[in-house]
Structure 1
Amino acid sequence: MDNLIEQNEEIEVPFLEVKGIKKSFAAVKALDDVSLCFQKGKVHGLIGANGAGKSTLIKILAGVQPQDGGEIFINGKETKIPNPHTSTELGLSFIHQELSLVEDFNIIENITLGMPKKTTLGMINWRKMHRDVEKVLKRLKLNIPLNTQLKELSVANKWLVSIARALYQDAKLIAMDEPTASLSESEVELLFNVIKDLTENQGISIVYVSHRLDEIMEICDEITVMKDGKKVFYSSIGEITKDQIIDVIAGFNLSSEKAEVKKVENTDVLLQVENIYANQKVKDVSFELYKGEILGLTGLVGVGRTELARMIFGADRIKSGRMLYKGKPFSPKHPKHAIDKGIVLVPEDRRTEGIISNKSVNFNINLPNLSHTRSIKWLSFVNSKKSAEISKDIIKRLLVKTSSEHTNILNLSGGNQQKIVIGKWLKRSPELIIMDEPTRGVDVGARAEIYNIIKEMAVKGTSFLIISSDVEELPGLCSRVIVLNEGRITGELTDSMITKDSILKLSYAHAK
């Protein structure tokens, strides 16, 4: 199969066309000469692995970020989109996975929020607005009183309200980001019926961004695959199979490689997770983590990786199933319970969950170690000399680049901040460190140093659960990788079988 299928020229002028769009962040090319067409009355699937460039393209079209180069055309006319207001005026609307609605507002208030209000003699004409909103809801066959508060609606109906808001703004193209992520099977069917009506009967263009390939095959008329900031594939849906799409995303032939599962030869189990369920994010997950092992946990964004980590750490409760730690039942009701057992967490968002941003390096390192900084254990006074010694030791061990332990942590680079988030736990000699996206926002040099820290600690017996959406880092770091999709384990890879291609294949597979 060719690596690239050129998009056929249509006689009809597309509603939206982008040509040669470029966008870089420092040395990273987020979009590299991307050209796409979105036809009137068609559903265009936009797919690709994490970091492919989909979100950057959407932000440019929404007027949130400017492109560095390239052209944008609406109905054949070149246009500029300097801000979100211009994007809306051009007929573009964007519905994100986390819906931008106000739960305590009613339907009409949400649909008209931020829009110019119909007025009579300077007073808002709610009656006229009711009639206009009712017309929009009728187009969606949504029969709910307009004074209903949003928090009383199902997730599917909230999505319909978001679509109604786009139609009220006279949208000609609606981009939907993972629209079915929180929907039941019957709600997905309802949404698909609405999408078909919008495209086939009302001429609305839909950009459908999703990782769920079965849905892409069912609802889309055409698809574009993006990878590493480039458009690498285009096809009408009738000329492509699901396996061929996976081949393009992963960059290898599905029939030529098989991901084998191997057992890790180790009998010293530290953590055992058995048939864990929690809400809709984690479903029947079971695995074992061995002493001194670096276990990777990956999959596409939103598949339940972080939720699973939070349950092990005691931040969230499990619905059913059980955990064993060192062979004994383990059910932490609070993070403190997990920490006392030797389990610590390096969170995904270090700025909001990992550091106290207006405090010093010394303060951040010693926050979980206050008992070690006291001259007399039963007194709550901190010995500044002891705290400085602990900080200097961590700074030296982890090669943190800072002028002093008294430097504000925000003055450190992202990589050095991350070292502090890791280092603050070391005085407690943890047995299991859970790391959620450990190298996100970290430069190449600091990334290598963090890998070395992990490997050196693992050799000394510390176990690691590495949660990462960066499929490039897992093969050289982990001895075993578990892949999740939609809350379930789709496969396990060990040693030489841990490759970027194999991980991507399992990321799009269905759990058996």
Structure 2
Amino acid sequence: MLASTSETKAPQAPPFLAARGIAKTYGGVKALKGVSLTVGAGEVHGLVGANGAGKSTLIRILAGLAHADAGEVAIDGRAVMLGNPAQAAELGMNFIHQELAFVPGMTVLENIMLGLPKKTRLGMVDWTAIARDVEPVARRVGITASMDAEVRTLSTAENWLINICRALIRKARLIVMDEPTASLSAAESEKLFRIIEDLRDTGVAVIYVSHRLDEILRLCSRVTVFRDGQSVAVIDKHELSRVRLVHAIVGGEVEQVEHARDVVHAETVLSVKGLSRSPRVDDVSLDLHRGEVLGIGGLVGAGRSELVRLIYGADQPDAGSMTLEGRTFAPASPAEAVKAGMGLVPEERRADGLLLAKSVAFNLQISNLMNIVRSPALPLIDYGKRKNLSAQTVRDLAIKTSSIETPVGLLSGGNQQKVVIGRWLLRAPKILILDEPTRGVDIGARADIHRLIRNLAAGGMAVLVVSSEPDELPDLCDRVLVMAGGRIVRELTGANITRNAIVEASYAFEGRETT
């Protein structure tokens, strides 16, 4: 029997979150130009876009940290006011930023309960009763540490779980995760993915913000793309592909870096023999050639950054030796390494590489001061020379800034990274070490940085690149050395430099070379 045409379908429930026409201007700059975003209950929704596209501004508005100039936010179909973070939390929204919220000197339980009302007994906080309530949620998200352990002793991945547990204790209906795997190993990332899938299956929505498109493709049922302060596309799961995402993010094709892998017979600039420092670096030997881009791959904790610290003089080895251009090289400090002709772009550019409150020009010239003084006898800054050199570097590297006097902290992540690299260009080192050169930058800025690195190598600079992203090294490097358990377990050259080969070698047994 046919259903009557007069029958009507049950009304569809409104999405949990609907942000429409959100606009925001900062000092005459339009950060958001009427963007929209809808997220349903139990949906993992991707939010992607270049640095500066407006993602962070929208998240700040949803979190009650900033106020929109125009537009509307609705929860369950009802317009709401988001005057402060407490109001956002009361509405069921929780935000986990890259800079995780925790107090190192407090316990796991105390950190989980940060900002939450606590049970009391006889006027005292009843931590025993609180622990009984929290334990099941903590185990659900995979926290294995004792509730009494201090979080300073835990890994970044474990502190991510603490933040997720706090959100669930708050009974969050939506959790926003900003670059959640930026500091996680592959195994830790897989654990996080399973937790996200469990949250989805129990009706908790997730907004997943990431530059890692493989993760977006795997996790998300829909993706909203931001570009230049506008929401330019909403793509459903069945239409998602890397090519479509890249096109939407950058507005066209991304130029690929082409290079020949033929520099291994060039002059050796740096030679490392049997370098060791317990417990993370074990009998490492390598050669770096002039004009070569040499990659160091492996999982987080494999010893890559610790090796860089030894080469750069930040730590001293227990054993082994180095030569630089055939001469003994044993820097007692980074200053000695710099004087010998070495430069370093650190993994944590904001904490270790930049003075965020200082200008672009200041940060560019901080390692180049003797070249901009009027004379060695009269060490006064020649501000005309400072201005010209800084402006030239900004042009050469296409650093997007309104002025060389703009505080560098106001620039996007990709442009901040260019400033750190530009600092060393002015000094022209023999060797440039880049630790995670494109972490947290968008796909367009990543292509710019890769092109810059290849141009430096073409000019004769020897470049050492450390990256935990196996997709990055095949695009960029002439050779790749993979570390596991503090040792180099595989050397990849030519057509053998592939993502799969890097991942496979990264999981080598500690102390055993892969075949």
Q: CA deviation at 1:209?
A: 1.6
For residues 276 and 156 of structure 2, the distance between their equivalents in structure 1, rounded to whole angstroms, comes to 21
Q: CA deviation at 1:166?
A: 0.6
Q: CA deviation at 1:73?
A: 1.2
For residues 82 and 314 of structure 1, the distance between their equivalents in structure 2, rounded to whole angstroms, comes to 49
For residues 355 and 46 of structure 1, the distance between their equivalents in structure 2, rounded to whole angstroms, comes to 29
> Is 1:244 matched up with 2:244?
yes
Alignment partner, residue 133 of structure 1:
134
Note the 1:343-362 alignment, pairs <5 A. 343=342
Native 8 Å contact 2:256 2:447 kept in 1: no
Note the 1:261-300 alignment, pairs <5 A. 261-262=259-260
Native 8 Å contact 1:102 1:110 kept in 2: yes
User: Using a 3 Å threshold, how does the CA distance of structure 1 residues 44 and 305 change in structure 2: closer, same or farther?
Assistant: farther
Alignment partner, residue 106 of structure 2:
105
Q: CA deviation at 1:228?
A: 2.7
Q: CA deviation at 1:87?
A: 1.6
The counterpart of 1:398, out of the listed 378, 386, 390, is 386
> Could you give the per-residue CA deviations for residues 197-219 of structure 1, whole angstroms, max 9, x where no partner exists?
22212x11111122222222222
Q: CA deviation at 1:235?
A: 1.6
Question: Which range is displaced more, 140-149 or 270-279?
Answer: 270-279
Alignment partner, residue 430 of structure 1:
none
Identity %: 35
> Is 1:486 matched up with 2:462?
no
Q: Which amino acid aligns with 2:455?
A: S
Q: CA deviation at 1:173?
A: 0.5
> Is 1:211 matched up with 2:193?
no
Q: CA deviation at 1:94?
A: 1.1
Alignment partner, residue 334 of structure 2:
335
For residues 235 and 150 of structure 1, the distance between their equivalents in structure 2, rounded to whole angstroms, comes to 39
Alignment partner, residue 486 of structure 2:
none
Total equivalences in the alignment: 424
Q: Which amino acid aligns with 1:16?
A: L
Q: CA deviation at 1:464?
A: 7.7
Alignment partner, residue 506 of structure 1:
none
For residues 119 and 178 of structure 2, the distance between their equivalents in structure 1, rounded to whole angstroms, comes to 30
Q: TM-score, normalised by structure 2?
A: 0.63
Alignment partner, residue 437 of structure 1:
417
Alignment partner, residue 260 of structure 1:
258
For residues 131 and 179 of structure 2, the distance between their equivalents in structure 1, rounded to whole angstroms, comes to 30
Note the 1:405-424 alignment, pairs <5 A. 415-416=404-405
User: Using a 3 Å threshold, how does the CA distance of structure 1 residues 327 and 69 change in structure 2: closer, same or farther?
Assistant: farther
Q: CA deviation at 1:16?
A: 0.9
Q: TM-score, normalised by structure 1?
A: 0.64
For residues 129 and 221 of structure 1, the distance between their equivalents in structure 2, rounded to whole angstroms, comes to 36
Aligned partner of residue 109 in structure 2, secondary structure? helix
Note the 1:17-28 alignment, pairs <5 A. 17-28=18-29
User: Using a 3 Å threshold, how does the CA distance of structure 1 residues 367 and 93 change in structure 2: closer, same or farther?
Assistant: closer
Native 8 Å contact 1:272 1:289 kept in 2: no
> Could you give the per-residue CA deviations for residues 143-202 of structure 1, whole angstroms, max 9, x where no partner exists?
65432333454544332221111111121111112223333444333322222222212x
Alignment partner, residue 487 of structure 2:
none
Q: Which amino acid aligns with 1:479?
A: N
User: Using a 3 Å threshold, how does the CA distance of structure 1 residues 399 and 31 change in structure 2: closer, same or farther?
Assistant: same
User: Using a 3 Å threshold, how does the CA distance of structure 1 residues 35 and 356 change in structure 2: closer, same or farther?
Assistant: closer
> Could you give the per-residue CA deviations for residues 87-145 of structure 1, whole angstroms, max 9, x where no partner exists?
21121111123321223322221111222222344332334323332343354365654
Aligned Cα root-mean-square deviation (Å):
5.4
Alignment partner, residue 379 of structure 1:
none
Q: Which amino acid aligns with 1:437?
A: Q
Q: Which runs of 5+ in 1 are unaligned?
A: 1-9, 373-384, 402-412, 420-434, 441-449, 495-508
For residues 204 and 485 of structure 1, the distance between their equivalents in structure 2, rounded to whole angstroms, comes to 33
Alignment partner, residue 513 of structure 2:
none
Native 8 Å contact 2:269 2:288 kept in 1: no
Note the 1:228-239 alignment, pairs <5 A. 228-239=228-239
Q: CA deviation at 1:346?
A: 8.6
Q: Which amino acid aligns with 2:181?
A: T
Aligned partner of residue 164 in structure 1, secondary structure? helix
